[in-house]
Chain A
Amino acid sequence: SAVISQKPSRDICQRGTSLTIQCQVDSQVTMMFWYRQQPGQSLTLIATANQGSEATYESGFVIDKFPISRPNLTFSTLTVSNMSPEDSSIYLCSDQQGLGSYNEQFFGPGTRLTVL
């Protein structure tokens, strides 16, 4: 399985600012995903990021609020824009190897975001 790293591991931000989270995979992967885990909650998929195409957002998430880039097969970024305290969460990226992987995903360590 690919090893996934995220930067930053945690941050404390002011209301109204934006934060870009980076996700780096140590091998080429087909699909990458971004999740949000609100305090005490399960994971909610924000969007699916495929290289060379626009990210596909889930219901309740929009590109203006969570712009995503996927410039190559090993890297993706998620920006949390115009933050409010409600955006305080852990943000996780994951990858999937593609066909034959049984949709198994491997996760990064997460970025713990606190918005004041």
Chain B
Amino acid sequence: AQSVTQLGSHVSVSEGALVLLRCNYSSSVPPYLFWYVQYPNQGLQLLLKYTSAATLVKGINGFEAEFKKSETSFHLTKPSAHMSDAAEYFCAVSLQGGSEKLVFGKGTKLTVNP
């Protein structure tokens, strides 16, 4: 079965600083990987997805993530944090050619300080 581990339930950065949110996955077959963002009192919005094409995936709002099979990682980065990036971020995994179910990590709450 697949699983996702997000290191750090809370991450705090200064405005303009690099954002790095960590995600490691476990999967017996090639995975699809996703990052979702949840702003306060809202549903989830897809930031980006890895579907076995390019290993470096660019998403919305300047975020990107790199799939590293050797490290079983899919960390989310943004070069320069903006106040509007403050939200909770969820990494999720599903199986290529397998179950359509998404398995979510526990989430990382990002705080951006002025």
Contacts and interface: CB of A to CB of B under 8 A. Distances in A.
Main secondary structure on A side of the interface with B: strand
A109 B42 contact: yes
B100 interface: yes
A61 B104 CA distance: 17
B105 A103 contact: no
Interface in B36-57: 36, 41-46, 49, 51
Contacts of A104: 32, 34, 46, 49
A78 to B, nearest CB: 15
A42 interface: yes
Most chain B beta-carbon contacts within 10 A, residue among A4, A107, A109? A107
Contact of A103 (B43, B45, B102, B104): B102
Most chain B beta-carbon contacts within 10 A, residue among A31, A96, A102? A102
A22 interface: no
B56 to A, nearest CB: 17
Contact of B43 (A44, A92, A102): A92
Contact of B90 (A43, A45, A48): A43
A42 B105 contact: yes
A103 B32 contact: yes
Interface residues of A, number: 22
Contacts, number: 50
A107 B34 CA distance: 13
A53 interface: no
A105 interface: yes
A103 B94 contact: yes
B97 to A, nearest CB: 10
Given A41-B106, A42-B106, A107 B100 contact: no
A110 B94 contact: no
B50 to A, nearest CB: 9
27 contacts: A41-B106, A42-B90, A42-B104, A42-B106, A42-B107, A43-B44, A43-B90, A44-B104, A45-B101, A45-B102, A48-B100, A48-B101, A92-B43, A92-B44, A94-B44, A96-B100, A102-B49, A102-B96, A103-B95, A103-B100, A104-B32, A104-B34, A104-B49, A106-B46, A107-B44, A108-B43, A110-B43
